[in-house]
Structure 1
Amino acid sequence: MDALTLQTTFLELSTPHVADACLRLGITVRCAPPSLRSAWTGVHVVGRVQPARHVGSVDVFLEALGHAGPGDVLVVDNDGRTDEACVGDLVALEVARAGLGAILIWGLHRDTAQLRTIGLPILSLGAYPNGPVRLDPQPADALAWARCGTHRVTADDVVLIDDDGAVFLPASRVAEIATVATKIRDDERHQAARMLLGTTLREQIRFDDYLAARDRDAVTFRQHLRSLDAAIEE
């Protein structure tokens, strides 16, 4: 799926919709750790992952841009370090000028005021004034993969970012995930509209019937919801 199709397909889908769709499809749900947050609110970005493993110098980011395409998301692996900031204003400006959609950092950023002016969405573990004082050897595969929390991601992944965080998706299944996520979104909107018009959620999902089936047949709540084609979890 190309960048434009990704944008239009996921335009009105949130990370919760997509995470629930993965769960429903039996795809491993890979969410960025909750400690990784957007530097500001109102963010909604989807793009192919462009990984880069940082070892103390920004040259790896500049090299990564030679492999990136419009709308990609630079995923920076700084090993979750909290003793140095690895991305600042000049890197962010270069990434923005290259047409990428965001920078996701498993580590820290700096130059927050300037980053806000640049306007490129930034997710990180927070801000820190000091940059790297180290310079470690760069692995030969520094642009092949990156880690974010416990998840290893590559250019075969897509990432969706919004105010709830980030979720990584296998690029080969994004169309399928988007279809299921769209149905989940529409079901939730329909249920919310009915609630506003006076029909409680318990009435809509026949909660009393579920309690009876649970006690009688050990039916789980998710099984009950699936039988009704209803949404609230997964």
Structure 2
Amino acid sequence: MDHQWLRRRFASLTTAHVADACIRAHVPVRCAPAPMSAVTPGSRLAGRVLPARHVGSVDVFLEAFEGATHGDVLVVDNGGRLDEACVGDLVALEAQAAGLEGIVIWGLHRDTADIRAAGLPVFSLGTLPTGPQRLADRPLDALESAAVGEWTVSREDLALGDDDGVLFVPAERAEEIFTTAETIRGTEHRQAERIRAGATLRHQVRFDTYLTRREQTPAFTFRDHLRDGGAAIEE
């Protein structure tokens, strides 16, 4: 997949648009847990997953960079540990030198000021001054997959990140998902413009009609109402 194509398609979207598109496409919505956020607010990233499972030593990242392609996103699996930072400024700089798009850490980072100065998008669970003080056995498949929360991702996945967090989508479904996300974005933008012009969302979705119908049929849901009007964005 061409990295410039990916960046161009994601440029006008948000992870929220893509998450809604996944629902409509019946693709699992694989969000990183809510604490995952950008080291520098406003950061965005979009690239193919470059997985690495950390066991206490930086060499796994250096080896991952050896096999990286331009625009990859290093996804670090440190088991969600909150007792050590596993990525610092040197790893971020090395990732940048290798042509990576950014880093997603299922764990903590450190050297926040230097990472921000480098300008590489980095997402993590937070920061801690101390690095690893242990060295576990490295699994043979340390560079084949990475866990982020309840999800396991690999080279077959894309990582997308913005101010709402990080989302993973299967690369083979990217075209379909982005096209659907663009449709959702267009609908939401039109709705927002109409609200600013004085047409409330309640008016746009005929909310009074829904309340009347629900009073008559208590089991009738708001999504049923939107579906009847062709306005159920997530479907």
Q: Which TM-score band (shorter chain)?
A: over 0.9
Equivalence for 2:145 = 145
Q: State the alpha-carbon separation in 2 of the partners of residues 39 and 125 from structure 1.
A: 9
The answer (yes or no) to whether the contact 1:184–1:231 under 8 Å persists in 2 is: no
SS at match of 2:180: helix
> Where does residue 21 of structure 1 map in the other structure?
21
Q: Please tell me whether the aligned partners of residues 188 and 231 of structure 1 are also in contact (alpha carbons under 8 angstroms).
A: no
Asked if the contact 1:89–1:111 (Cα under 8 Å) also holds between the matched residues in 2, the reply is yes
Find the counterpart in structure 2 of residue 164 from structure 1.
164
CA contact (8 A) 2:80 2:149 kept: yes
Distance 2:52 2:227 in 1: 40
Change (3 A) 1:196 1:109: same
CA distance in 2, matches of 1:119, 1:233: 34
Q: How does 1:46-125 map to 2 (within 5 A)?
A: 46-125=46-125
Counterpart of 1:41 in structure 2 is 41
Gaps of 5+ in 1: none
Q: 1:134 to 1:8 in 2, by over 3 A?
A: same
Q: Secondary structure at the match of 1:51?
A: strand
Asked if the contact 2:24–2:234 (Cα under 8 Å) also holds between the matched residues in 1, the reply is: no
The letter for the 1-side match of 2:230 is: D
Stretches of structure 2 lacking an aligned partner (at least 5 in a row): none
AA aligned to 1:133 is Q
What is the letter of the counterpart of residue 108 of structure 2? L
Question: 8 Å contact 1:110–1:129 — kept in the other structure?
Answer: yes
Instruction: Give the counterpart letter for 2:220 in structure 1.
Output: V
* Counterpart AA for 1:118: A
Deviations 1:94-150 (A, max 9, x none): 001111111000011111111111111111111111111111111110000000011
Match of 1:229 in 2: 230
Please report the TM-score for the alignment, with normalisation by the length of structure 1: 0.95
Q: Shift of the alpha carbon at 1:88?
A: 0.7
Q: Secondary structure at 2:11's aligned position in 1?
A: coil
Q: Deviation at 1:227?
A: 3.3
Alignment RMSD (CA, Å): 1.5
Structure 1 residue 26 displacement after superposition? 1.3
- Give the counterpart letter for 1:92 in structure 2: A
Instruction: Describe the superposition over 1:61-94 as per-residue Cα deviations: whole angstroms up to 9, x where unpaired.
Output: 0111122211111000000111111111111000
How many Å apart are 1:15 and its aligned residue? Answer: 0.7
Kept in 2, the 8 Å contact 1:222–1:233? The answer is no
Residues 23-54 of structure 1: CA deviation (Å, up to 9, x unaligned):
12211111000111111211121111110000
Q: Output the TM-score relative to the length of structure 2.
A: 0.95
Q: CA deviation at 1:233?
A: 6.2
From the superposition, tell whether residues 221 and 233 of structure 1 become closer, same or farther in structure 2 (CA, over 3 Å).
farther
Q: Secondary structure at the residue paired with 2:74? A: strand
Structure 2 partner of 1:210 = 210
SS at match of 1:10: helix
Q: In structure 1, what residue type is equivalent to 2:11? A: L
CA 1:207 to 1:233, structure 2 compared with 1: closer, same or farther past 3 Å? farther
Query: Percent identical across equivalent pairs?
Result: 57
